[in-house]
A and B are shown apart, each in its own frame.
Chain A
Amino acid sequence: MAATTSSESGLLPKASSIALAPPPIPPTVLETDPSYPLLKPILSYLALASSWTSITIHTHSPVDPSKRLPRAMISGIPPTNLYAELEDPGQKKEKKVDKKIRREWVLPSSLRENWTLRKWAEVFDLLGDLPPGENGEGDCDEKVEKKRILMGIVGGDGTVVFYFVHDGIVKPRQN
């Protein structure tokens, strides 16, 4: 089973846009998974504080379902496009209209652990361009030049911070 969806719980059929509880952690996530203790604070933050929707937890590679991810990952749709891509100023107006919000990958991690470049490489190698949606299909047909993930780092007091990590050289946003 490659993905488990949060909507299975079906607690709030009428007010589905407002989450009152974070999505449950599916049983496919093993207790030995490094993500296991990190999922709850990250899911809470995404669902309750940041109003992400369609949150899904992945334990296997979407590209090759026989391979387990190094740790369970989350995907979801943020309320707005998080990463304003650089566009030609002239094109900006017309493009904005019907642009779907891109589904993002979230990689849970703890402030206490150490990281290496190889860990990123392993994760990226198992991911497709975009996370699969709830039905296993992409829900955004955006063209992806470089893969990206959001690194969700859980601090000691439950604070969660998010950093984009791109696989390759990506020109930074004009802040």
Chain B
Amino acid sequence: MSDCSTTPFPIHTSDNRYLILDINVIPILREKYRILGHMLGTLPQIPQQNVFLGLPMQLLPEEAKLLVDQGAAYLVDSKEVYRDWYKSLGEEEKEKILEERKHAEVMDGERRKQEADERKRKFWEKKRLDDLKKQGGETSLEGGSGSETPTVSERPETPIQTEYVVAAPKPPSGSTEVPNVPETYPLFKYLHEKEYYLSSGLRFGANYVAYPGDPARFHSHFCVNSKQFDEEFSMIDIVGGGRLGGGVKKGWLLGGVENTDESGKDNVRAFCVEWGGF
């Protein structure tokens, strides 16, 4: 997909999640649109690890809206696309897919069974050798048989045939569907326009974390919290926010929509809080 930098790319939506399924889109999002997303896919065998995550990439609703508004992406309802694709299949093809899945399951089961057998065999082999050693110090007599490495049965090299069916994205129709975004969106957009990279601020107890460049190369500058312009907050929040930001070498940025002009554009104003230092 070399043309995905020019054409709008699909964002697959499902249950208010916004997913990117094409790996080629991700570097473009990052470099051209300063959109970070969040990798979701993990390894089926080790679902707990979160060091190596891959596709799909989930976007914040704010990120998805930004892309859709810029005309860089369009939303695709995963459920609909899947349903259409399934309907388009003939009976024979459905059979074939089912058959393949079944085959894959059987093969997987067999492979596991073989592995378990192998472990058992090794265990008993080791036990037998240990017992021999215990019986007499003169194991050297039987050294020949003792050092004999148990023949490891070849792991069955049967690659499981998995067919990834990625539903073909439909071309951008005139759909006006736009992601639902939280109230914090205007501040998100404001900072994004100021060339900040933004990611979820959950880890720092904020709405967003703002980076002055690619997070792979820069430390973040701000914990970002959005407020309504007349929303009351307690003084202890200022102390807490300023302190928390300072503790992780960040400023604490508070902002909101000060007013909306006639054209409907939100005018955002932001304030940065830092500990006074005395």
Q: How many A-B residue pairs have CB under 8 A?
A: 105
User: Contact at B272–A170, with CB atoms within 8 Å?
Assistant: yes
B229 interfacial contact with A, CB 8 Å: yes
Chain A residues lying within 8 Å of B227, measured Cβ to Cβ, are: 116-117
In the complex, B236 has a CB within 8 A of chain A? yes
Question: B232 contacts A171, CB within 8 Å?
Answer: no
Judge whether B204 is part of the interface by a CB distance below 8 angstroms.
no
A175 with B269: CB separation less than 8 A: no
Asked if B275 and A164 sit within 8 Å, CB to CB, the answer is yes
CB-contacts of B243-278 with A (<8 A): 245-246, 249-251, 253-256, 258, 269-278
> Is A117 in contact with B231, judged by CB distance below 8 angstroms?
yes
- Whether B83 sits at the interface, judged by CB under 8 Å, is no
Interface residues of A in 15-69 (CB under 8 A from B): 50
Of the candidates A50, A118, A167, the one whose C-beta lies within 8 Å of that of B230 is: A118
Contacts known (A117-B227, A163-B276, A164-B276); A172 close to B221, Cβ less than 8 A: yes
A4 CB-CB contact with B under 8 Å: no
B246 touches A169 (CB 8 A): no
Complexed CA–CA distance, A91 and B242 (Å)? 29
Point out the residue from A82, A113, A165, A173 that lies within 8 Å of B273, measured CB to CB: A165
* Total interface residues in chain A, CB < 8 Å: 34
Contact A168 B270 (CB under 8 A): yes
Q: A116-B230, A117-B227, A175-B249 known; A169 and B194 CB under 8 Å?
A: yes
In the complex, whether B234 has a CB less than 8 A from a CB of chain A is yes
Query: Which of A6-14, A93-101, A104-112 sits within the interface?
Result: A104-112
Interchain nearest-CB distance for B249 vs A (Å):
5
Instruction: Give A83 Cβ to nearest chain B Cβ, in Å.
Output: 8
B255 touching A172, Cβ below 8 Å: no
Bound-state CA distance A169–B269 (Å) is 9
Residues A168 and B233 in contact, CB atoms below 8 Å apart: no
Q: How far does the alpha carbon of A172 sit from the alpha carbon of B221 in the complex, in Å? A: 6
A135 CB within 8 Å of chain B: no
B81 interfacial by beta-carbon distance below 8 Å: no
Inter-subunit contact B271/A167 (CB<8 Å): yes
Contact check, A166 vs B272: say whether CB atoms are below 8 A apart.
yes
A169 touches B270 (CB 8 A): yes
**B168-227, CB < 8 A from A:** 191, 194, 212, 221-222, 227
Chain A residue with Cβ nearest B234: A114
Q: Contacts of A161 on B, CB cut-off 8 Å? A: 239, 276
Q: Complex formed: what's the CA distance from A50 to B277 in Å?
A: 11
Give every chain B residue within 8 A of A151 (Cβ-Cβ). 238, 273
Can you report 14 A-B residue pairs in the complex whose CB atoms are below 8 A from each other?
Answer: A82-B276, A114-B234, A115-B232, A116-B231, A116-B232, A121-B229, A121-B269, A161-B276, A162-B276, A164-B272, A164-B275, A166-B271, A168-B272, A169-B253
Chain A to chain B: the 4 pairs with minimum beta-carbon distance, closest first? A162-B276, A172-B251, A114-B232, A166-B272
